[in-house]
Structure 1
Amino acid sequence: MFKRHLTTVNARDQVAVIKAMKLVISGEITLAVTPGRNSPKSELVLQAMDTESEIDAQIGLLVATSGSTSNPKAVLLSLDAIKASIAAVADELEIPGTWHLVLPLEHVAGQMTALRGLSAQSNLEAPTINAGDPMQLATYAKTIRNNAGPNYITLVPEHLNRLALINELESLKYFDRVIIGAGRVSEPTETLIKNLGLRVTRSYGLTETCGGIVWDGKPLSNVAISLSDIGEVLVSSAMNAFGYRSSPDLNLDTIHTGDLGRFQNGRLQILGRMDRKIKHKGLFVDLDELASFIQQEFSIENAVLSEDERIWVFCQSSEISELESKLIVTFGKHLLGLEIRFMDQLPRTELGKVDNWELKTDWIKK
């Protein structure tokens, strides 16, 4: 097994990352894009990456998981897996186009967007905008209205929710495909997407699968999805990772995702995380169901977590006196004694997802 030194580039240096990505595609380097901001989690990412040690030359990218629910891990993505992912997406879209990169480059979604745009017959546009600011994103989207198509963009659901709040969701109509990953799209936003006729594709995947491998419930080419006896989603694909930096010999030919799913009309539906269905005071509680109820009933962003046999509810709002009583009336008296916290802002990852890891480390465990 031939080994080589790992090439590292900081995510904040977009130009240098894109230049390095070209060398990844040609097989000349193995790249690790290091976190763009300093934080306790960033330190954990760097530890997981072990940037000083040599690495198998078959690996194209060393990518950190988002770490939104647990400590981040460094995933080994081979060049073959990366190329298989690029090819599968190209097969699905059929027509090469321009990929617009607005996601952070330290995560797999941003890196794979860049690599698709750098691949043969495609183009890459990498504007220097903060996509977390909906007005900046909307303004940029409108600049492509006269571009020769097709135009593709990868976002997260929170981007769409924020655009809807400022009445700028329609700006996404200039993209021939808007691909969104995991997360909740609010009901009002879903309604607007349908009414505006936006071409939005829901993507499901993991860092360990080079990102999205199921689009709108349909597996991409060279992807096999199955369910275990308890309904866990299992993935076998040409895009599966080699393993992790800490355990490179781990066999990931079949990935146990930890997600529950089902097939309906031949399409995969994700029902939630297995570890989000817990036993509390002798009864089963679905934490995602609680979070969804709070979102729909009170129209507020929230996070519901379980730690030390207690259920914690974090709400991005001013205090709501009737919150606990409504949850008890709806779900049962076993929810008495919830730990409820109201916050000005929920912590978020670079991708806009609520950062449950930070809530646990900075709020619950302290």
Structure 2
Amino acid sequence: MRVVWLDGSAAAIAALDEAVAAALDGGEAVLPLNAADPSAQSLLEAMSPEQAIEPDTAVVIATSGSTGAPKGVLLSPHALTASATATHARLGGPGHWLLATPAHYIGGLQVLIRARLAGTKPAFLTGEGFRTDAFAVAAAPVLAEAGPRYTALVPTQLVRLLDDGGAGLAAAKAFDGIVLGAAATSPKLRARAHEAGVRIVPAYGMSETASGCVYDGLPLDGVRVEPDASERLWIAGDVLAHGYRLSPELTAESFRDGWFRTSDRGRLLPDGRVEVLGRADDVINTGGVKVSAAAVERVLGGCPGVRDACVVGLPDPEWGEAVVALVVAGQADPDGLRAAVRAELGAAATPKRVEFTAELPLRGPGKIDRTAVRHHLAAT
């Protein structure tokens, strides 16, 4: 297995691009790692690159996930190319791509694969952090090309583009499609993008599905999504990974008869769209009533002045768990936020406490670090 260390430079991304291209053609499997990640060394050790790789593996995506336990998702050439091909079919055909998210995550890696299959040369947004002016500069060579121009972002990046305006927003508006993944797209953010003229395509997926597999609520061609009796979502299709690195028990638990058991709850709407309701472990049992943290977050996110919100359950001697919210807002009244939740979701879902912060802690490409939020709220 070939380990490729990514340090934010264009040279490192180009090396990964070439390594993945060789792996898709049957060459050595690739393990991309972030050189700046403090946990990268432990991920490397857990992936044991000196041991033989599982058959039919082109890429291993290593992550600590929400549990903190390292795991490596095994992706075949077929799964990776099936995802890229289905994405192009849904967006409007092969095109030119800007890589604007970290390439050691599946969303960024797929940008490289899509460009490779399209026969186009991707542009890279390099450096640490996300700056809207740098986004505009990196986007320029892609936007100068004829034919479809695409990029992939996470919601926090889109919020910054909308907030800052200027050259960054102008560049975003010029793309024919922006795949928005890694975290849920709130109705407010969707409305802001539409009003600004930014063409976004909210995507749902994960490393185990070779990136987004549901675009704007509709599964990609060849993908099936079904909830079980407990509303747990199961996914099938050519885009699926074939297991976890050196973890046969976890593989057997998660992959069954051609289906992958996700950690998310959801349902199918009458028009065939998939509605993701949140993670199965984000349900809060308060006073014997089960409350969806995602539902409370949606209500809070729709309130004036609120930019983002994370809701968790904290141990409570009276209620078992108390609904508590950490909110990013310019100006917002805690009592008004609680009243909005009560009006839409009822008393049980109303946060017992609302606290404010300048920004929510993140892990991975734009995902909220709920463990860090829980520790912060417990400490305060």
TM class, shorter-length: 0.7 to 0.9
Q: Is the 8 A contact 1:231 1:262 kept in 2?
A: no
Q: Is the 8 A contact 1:68 1:353 kept in 2?
A: no
Q: Which residue of 1 aligns with 2:318?
A: none
Which residue identity does 2:151 align to in structure 1?
A: I
CA separation in 1, counterparts of 2:186 and 2:230? 28
Q: Is the 8 A contact 1:236 1:254 kept in 2?
A: yes
Q: Is the 8 A contact 1:158 1:184 kept in 2?
A: no
Q: Tell me by how many angstroms 1:110 deviates.
A: 0.7
TM-score by length of 1: 0.85
Q: Which residue of 1 aligns with 2:313?
A: 306
2:267 paired with 1:269: no
Q: Give CA-to-partner distance per residue, 1:73-104, whole Å, 9 cap, x none.
A: 21111222122222322333453221211110
Structure 2 CA distance for partners of 1:82 and 1:336, relative to 1, 3 Å: closer
When structure 1 is superposed on structure 2, of 156-165 and 129-138 the one drifting more is: 129-138
1:259-338 alignment, distance < 5 Å: 259=264, 260-297=266-303, 298-308=305-315, 309-316=321-328, 322-323=334-335, 326=338, 330=343, 338=352
Q: Tell me by how many angstroms 1:179 deviates.
A: 0.9
Q: What is the SS of the residue equivalent to 1:59?
A: coil
Which residue identity does 2:24 align to in structure 1?
A: I
CA separation in 1, counterparts of 2:15 and 2:314? 41
Q: Is the 8 A contact 1:160 1:185 kept in 2?
A: no
CA separation in 1, counterparts of 2:86 and 2:225? 15
Q: Is the 8 A contact 1:223 1:237 kept in 2?
A: yes
1:1-366 alignment, distance < 5 Å: 6-12=1-7, 13-39=12-38, 41-42=39-40, 44-65=42-63, 67-68=65-66, 70-93=68-91, 95-119=93-117, 121-129=119-127, 132-142=130-140, 144-168=142-166, 169-248=169-248, 250-251=251-252, 252=255, 253-259=258-264, 260-297=266-303, 298-308=305-315, 309-316=321-328, 322-323=334-335, 326=338, 330=343, 338=352, 341-360=355-374, 364=378
Q: What is the SS of the residue equivalent to 2:368?
A: coil
Structure 2 CA distance for partners of 1:146 and 1:121, relative to 1, 3 Å: closer
RMSD: 3.1
Q: Tell me by how many angstroms 1:210 deviates.
A: 0.3
Q: What is the SS of the residue equivalent to 2:302?
A: helix
Structure 2 CA distance for partners of 1:336 and 1:120, relative to 1, 3 Å: closer
Q: Is the 8 A contact 1:258 1:274 kept in 2?
A: yes
TM-score by length of 2: 0.82
Aligned residues: 360
Q: Give CA-to-partner distance per residue, 1:293-341, whole Å, 9 cap, x none.
A: 3333341422212254444432345897735983585566657994655
CA separation in 2, counterparts of 1:203 and 1:210? 12
Q: Which runs of 5+ in 2 are unaligned?
A: 316-320
Q: Which runs of 5+ in 1 are unaligned?
A: 1-5
Which residue identity does 2:225 align to in structure 1?
A: I
CA separation in 2, counterparts of 1:44 and 1:280? 37
Q: Is the 8 A contact 1:31 1:61 kept in 2?
A: yes
Q: Tell me by how many angstroms 1:180 deviates.
A: 1.0
Structure 2 CA distance for partners of 1:171 and 1:189, relative to 1, 3 Å: farther
